[in-house]
Amino acid sequence: MNKLRIVKVILGILSILMLIWGAFWAYMLFFGGRILRGITIVIEEFVAQSSVLMLALCIAVTILLMKLLASRRVKHPKQYYAIIIIGLTISGFNAASLLATPYTILNAEQEFEDAFGVNWGNSIPLNVQNYFLPSPYLFSSHFLSIPEKAIIVEKDILFYTGENITLYFDVYRPVEPASLLPGNGSIIINLHPGAWMSGGKGTWNMISTSKYLAGQGYVVFDIEYGLIDWFEYGAAAPDTPEYVMGNFTIEDQVRHIGIFTNRCESEFAATYGANLDSVYFMGRSAGAHLAGVAGLGYNYDFHNTTFSPNMVVKGVIPLYSPSAAPEFLLKEKRSANPDLYNAYDLVHLADDEDPPVLIFQGTSDGQVRIEGAIELEEDLESKGTDCCLLMFPFAGHANDFVLSTNIGQVWIYYLERFLYLTQNIS
Amino acid sequence: MKFGREQVKYVCIILSGANIASIILGILHYIIGLNIVIGTIFSILIVLAWFLNVALIVFDDYKVVKNSSIGKRINRFGYGFVGVQIIAIFCLIGGLFTLNANWFSPVLQYSLIWIGFFSFFVYASLFSYLNIKALNNREVWKFE
């Protein structure tokens, strides 16, 4: 066998391996990690966001196979065309998320019409819209990313020491005066994911989104809270700092968030030019649950000494959120103390005085099921809370990691509009 | 309608234009920011250029006489183009995913994105130019 033939054989094997990888990606796109569990729960987080590039990869590999097998076109046409059909079929399945984008947009429009009225777009002045994404999805931005605006980032600012832990936050704010931007210095308290027992501020709390919102005039506080050291979870988030771990429960975590709101009121708002009359709680996964407890529980008697009383909460933004705390992560079981459980159940906390809620949910999420998100939206609305559920077909857990994908762009397009519209609701 | 040398030449010229326009609009993307008209045209152009580039590789695979010296070169360029595409895709994946990571420098993040995007269209422009140049050489093609 000459050298050229050996190279061709190696390339052929690599191409087939890539197609098998593409087939696995397509499977994950449709079913997420809910069936296979294990490591697929983590892999699912990368699948839909990279599926467009996987589509391109599968087509490129199919063409490579066509070139490598060109001599078989005449001698063994069935084999040749079968490989092409298999390659193109795998590519086609990987296009599912991209092809579903118009549906995602139509669904989001309907949700916004229901929450803010049919002509909701007209209530955003043109000079404000100039700061926003011009379209829910531009294919070109998918590859070249969304251009960043100048912002200031300050990291690792201490806000709490005690209980053998130290808690820090990062702050993202605009360079331009916030009053000239759509955000007008509104505060976004951003709570990281990690199943209440792992994770941290920074990378895994979607820095790109924090930067983008800072560029829009928001002051984003990406904060830490104490993490539960006695609970194990199969898909723990990486980059968990040791200095936040302790013998905590979810009550303690909400208390830590409350401590931050008090320090924010007394000190940080003035330091960073943030607007206490317009505050949002945003969070992902477990952080979304905590954001929901803080945002919807702000006016709930049980929590009335937890948070600063001098903030005005304008909205809650839970991404792939569990609707209630697992009862074993609270100090007492539900049967022993139902009031305690209710104080960490988002639906129970909701009432018609609560601010609007914007939910992000992927339909292939193996950790937080889409059925749960739909039920949460329906229950919140039945309690009189305005709620928009942005559903992303084929997206899994944490699929807002890359801002410029068909998922990330649609999310940002509606998130920035939601933030602007809700700022002016009293 | 017969798809002959002249038609291929026109397609290659359109393809060259689409590739070069994609490079220019890619640079403008960072200079003028997001614009719905330019963004939509650019998006259509990327899809069009990508499909035509892929079609050209497949077309060459069927129609080029690989024994001739220029045909051999076009065939090798075709392999190179597929290789560049695959590397470009991995660069884009790396660049886009690390944009969120605070342990990578923005220079590295954007370098990966730019290498991924622009290497494809630069190579595509060269590939279509090579095809246009070789079209008049009857030894290279199996048109009839």
**pLDDT grade, residue A235 (50/70/90)?**
confident
Of B92, B99, B110, the CB nearest to A53: B92
Positions of chain B with pLDDT lower than 70, given as ranges: 1-2, 144
How much is the average pLDDT of A110-114? 97
Nearest C-alpha of chain A: how many angstroms from B2?
A: 23
Q: How distant is the Cα of B19 from the closest Cα of chain A, in angstroms? A: 14
Q: Around Cβ A162, how many Cβ atoms within 10 Å?
A: 10
In tens, the pLDDT along A395-425 reads 999 999 999 999 999 999 999 999 999 998 7
Distance from CA of B13 to the nearest CA of A (A): 22
* pLDDT of A160 higher than 90: yes
Instruction: Kindly list the residues from chain A whose CB atom is less than 8 angstroms away from the CB atom of residue B103.
Output: 203
Q: Which residues of A touch B77 (CB under 8 A)?
A: none
CB–CB contact A402 B103 (8 Å): no
3-state secondary structure chain A: CCHHHHHHHHHHHHHHHHHHHHHHHHHHHHHCCCCCCCCHHHHHHHHHHHHHHHHHHHHHHHHHHHHHCCCHHHHCHHHHHHHHHHHHHHHHHHCHHHHCHHHHHHHHHHHHHHHHCCCHHHHCCHHHHCCCCCCCCCHHHHHHCCCCCCEEEEEEEEEEEECCEEEEEEEEEECCCHHHCCCCCEEEEEECCCCCCCCCCCHHHCHHHHHHHHHCCCEEEEECCCEECCCCCCCCCCCCCHHHEECCCHHHHHHHHHHHHHHHHHHHHHHHCCEEEEEEEEEECHHHHHHHHHHHHCCCHHHCCCCCCCCCEEEEEEECCCCECCHHHCCCCCCCCHHHHHCCEHHHHCCCCCCCEEEEEECCCCCCCHHHHHHHHHHHHHCCCCEEEEEECCCCCCCCCCCCCHHHHHHHHHHHHHHHHHHCCC
Q: Residue B143: what pLDDT?
A: 77
Confidence band of A241 (pLDDT split at 50, 70, 90): very high
Q: What pLDDT is recorded for position A426?
A: 67
B51 touching chain A per CB within 8 A: no
CB A210 within 8 A of CB A172: yes
Q: How far apart are CA A1 and CA A226, in angstroms?
A: 62
Of the candidates A396, A393, A413, A409, the residue with the CA atom closest to the CA atom of residue A145: A409
Is pLDDT at A345 greater than 70 in this prediction?
Answer: yes
* A184-208 confidence digits (pLDDT tens): 999 999 999 999 999 999 999 999 9
Q: Which residues of B touch A202 (CB under 8 A)?
A: 102
Mean pLDDT, range A2-21, rounded to an integer: 95
Spell out which residues of chain A touch residue B79, defining contact as CB-CB under 8 Å. 64, 67
CA distance A204 to chain B (A): 8
Residues of chain B found within 8 Å of residue A208, distances taken between Cβ atoms? 99-100
Predicted pLDDT at A1: 67
Judged by a CB distance cut-off of 8 A, whether residue B117 touches chain A is yes
Interface confidence, given as ipTM, is: 0.94
**pLDDT averaged over every residue in chain A:** 96
Q: Does residue B138 come out as left (phi exceeding 0), alpha (psi in the -120 to 50 range) or beta? A: alpha
Please tell me which residue of chain A has the smallest CA distance to B99: A208
Q: Give me the count of residues in chain B.
A: 144
Taking 80 as the threshold, does the pLDDT of residue A49 lie above it?
yes
Closest residue on chain A to B60 (Cα):
A67
List residues of chain A with CB under 8 Å from any CB of chain B: 46, 49-50, 53, 56-57, 59-61, 63-64, 66-67, 70, 133-135, 138-141, 143-147, 202-203, 206-208, 401-405
- Is the CB of A140 less than 8 angstroms away from the CB of B33? no
> For residue A133, which residues of chain B lie inside 8 Å, CB to CB?
34
Measured in angstroms, the CA of B20 and the nearest CA of chain A are apart by 15
The shortest C-alpha distance from A331 to chain B (Å) reads 35
Average pLDDT of A365-388? 96
Whose CA is closest to A144, among B50, B104, B54, B46?
A: B46
Using the beta-carbon criterion (under 8 Å), do B40 and A138 form an inter-chain contact? yes
- Reply yes or no on whether the pLDDT at A359 is more than 80: yes
B103 → chain A, closest CA residue: A203
**Minimal CA separation from B89 to chain A, in Å:** 6
Question: Which of chain B's residues have a Cβ under 8 Å away from the Cβ of A50?
Answer: 93, 97
Q: Determine whether the interchain pair A144/B117 forms a contact, defined as Cβ–Cβ distance below 8 Å.
A: yes
